[in-house]
Structure 1
């Protein structure tokens, strides 16, 4: 019986040897697994150093091991495979020990060398079957015969999972100690090496006792095997690890940026989604971090009575290059993936009028041509009359005034001459990709839904003097060796005449001086071209504005729970009209974004068109009974500007009166209580002058009477300031 038993064992061994020999002959070292070579791709701001986030199937950064301290590799050898430098790829004792454990205890125990683990991770993928393990062992033997120990160890360190979603020593160094692998200390390397068998459960953040025990084990073996001295062992202290990072890279506004960059590169056909997830690229964007932070802060601001449903979208860009500098797409990508900058749509309203205005310039129409700017007009093919905002009647005005004040009836007249098809074609030539109704006269009033990005693309071509530069967020893409893999398009396409665009820019400057956004240019201290827009039934509002080198577009809209548009109510003193919140957002952003930049002038425009157009039929027409000439039209523009200046002066006078009232109240407080403020002229210890004389007839200044006694009289009959008597009908000024 015993003989039969040994015979069976012998046959089993022979069969095993035969199978192993067959597998050895037929097994070749395969190509590396894709996941083993996969590296995360990092997306950076325009500075090329500040990260926005990354794309990754696995968080891995493959590095060269030449610059790593020896103790990093030695710590891993001490932890995982003490015979690594002497074995032939297999540890037969370890395999036998694992086999006995698996048979007697029914549990799986690893007996793999570093070379075997490397073969599994780098070439074959994870396997637990005996045949799979046999092939793994054979591949390990062949690797040991063809690759140096340094190569094997380096590739192992670059592929092994080390916890905290980090693959490879570089990612682990970042995850545990916020540093590069080359900067790890002996203690830090020993800690990471110690938890290799079970990094998720032995993470010091979850199981400090086990992590410390493994740390000591690694150091003991390193000293025993001569990798470190006794002093190094004694000096090594268990390191403090960084807190576990729980943040999702797509949380907050950065998720929008990452998604936009990915879509841009995939749509360019230069990369696939898988390429970006595994290629280890360095993507440099055009996004200026300071401007992005500024735009995000402005867009995130929610006024007290602003509807929760109100949506805001924004973009800033360089019209000369098409580089997007910042976007406002939303506050949190994880909460709402619909991007308010380039996906959500709204009706742009009158911000579409400049494309028809450009058509008038192309048709040879002088912008001094007079049009009927009154409400209650009828146009061919329309059943309903057309009105202006608030049903205003502007009288006979030219195209400059009509643009500045966004007069609907004038632009309907322009569109009637151009045809809606031509107006739509101009907008598309400028770069707008959204649908525009070619058969509707109302397309000039912005009835077709667009995105903020689309609107900015169209206007940027006019701002760039007729050269269309495709808007983009990616500047370039580098591989892991810093080799250029992709560069943004550098040349624009000439689509419009530069002078025609300059005429439109000139007309749009009226918007920010005396038009719907009056005072904007003065506030920013430079020429600004702008155009406001309000959707039909007050469903949305937008503003487009720019200098020659920076464009900023904002829009607001108010969808219901199902995404259907609804009216935007007035809030915090801002009406839905085109003079409202988007223009305020523009002013707030540009006031800070333009700080310290050179004041630029727009190109000089030459109005070579004819009054009434080449055929004399545009507007009121050449030789109409009005008899108005170019000079008369210019005078009309000057009158409008003069009125705007008078309004501004009146506003300034009102503000000054308010300041004087505050000064008077302060003076009265000081008179009642000299200790009210150290600024009081009669503050204890301060000598006060005599009385000022009375103001005459309520309009002339009183004489100075000691300190602060120069008070001007007016018809309000209030007292003079400290040191002055009550003037006849006088008030402090």
Structure 2
């Protein structure tokens, strides 16, 4: 007996239920066909939905075709360039013109540009010296194809985006740029460099390329080629160079002026020593130098340079400062040394002569241990209108106006005050080294300068600085907190090309209220009769109502004595430095009183700022010659940053 839930009965009921719902099997098939015709295939629907809008133009097939076409075009284009571009003749450096430097009124300061070059065969260059250059610039030189595609691509991107010159070129590419092409930073020049480098590597031996590279590179000091460099830096012929000396010359190529030991800043000396060590370590890694030989090697300091003719007196210092500014703006040192430039400076002849007279009257005898540096700036536009770099460029090659190896002393006090006020504006009453360092950098100081991390560095001004740097700081304060970067170059032009120089006056770096408070605090005050301090508050310089602000005093180690004074029209920084005449090492200044630098500043400022209404005023009295005090530390009641002068 079958129950109601037996399989047969269930099947019959299912069939009955299905038939009642859809009819007969034939009717069901027809219904299914009708439903299928009404509903589109889901795959087709998704495909159609995916291809709506712009997406219908971009499929993986089309993308693949595009990539293949682009590759074919690039290969074809490069093939055409390779066939069209030939190895040119050597460039015209041998026919280079001189550079002419002129004052703001067009009168000539100096003419430079004599090329110092002597080509030598590679056989005269010691093997260790050759290896030093390869280790410094291109360790794979002997096995590469002559080009670095990634380096060239990076260089092109940097050129297009304006982010600098670094491109990672090979020795072959650098040789091609030096010997066959110009130093201009353009995409077309880089493409030519790539093509010509491939051809040069194919048609020349590696030794020929290395010889050309060593003989065409610029080493600074107007020296082209390794023989001229050996004479300029070590006063010897190239065959007599040691591995250590060769490693220094190889390191020098990266930044000749910055790494020239005689004029390098403390940071520059540190960097070139690091790169010198990097070169030697690379030689060890490649197997060109034994590790046991490397360990005892010591840095070989070069000899002092011999200035070129026509740069005596202050002319050499002015040219040096202008050259530094131009290279910082993007002109390569080799391009500048190639000549043909007319460079107009912001220096005004009358102010330049007045500054030279004032410092000359106060500076001690030539055989004394005194050096002086000074920079005078118009804070309204950032123009350097006068600069004093030393007694004579022929006798003292290092520019005292730009050297930054002496302590800032009391001239740093306004920076600390500005940092404190800026922090208080943000309700921060706990000002530390970080905030002070940031404010110093905003005002134009180097936050990595030596001494910044020393104990009590900010309270005593122990960090290194220069008259150029400090005049920028105080000019920014005088300019209501708008950044002033002192500029000596007014224009630089070669043929139809005119260099685009950065503006000397930038944006707001500290609050105008902060700058005003700091400036007023510095105006308490300078006595125009003595250059010392007055208890009567701010006083005028001359008869035209100009108010003076100042920061003055000796450094903590007594090796520098500063006076930085400013009016709305003129800010001048004067530094006196102790330096042994024979060893060039820093020594204490033992014969300068506190009012000495102030009197020199006042004599200069009185002369250059007097107008027609004060033309009949008595001429400023020159400062008395410095006298040595019994204790060797000044002549008055001294407090860091201030003194009373009768």
TM-score, normalised with respect to structure 2:
0.47
* TM-score normalised to structure 1 length: 0.42
Looking at CA atoms only, which structure, 1 or 2, has the larger radius of gyration?
1
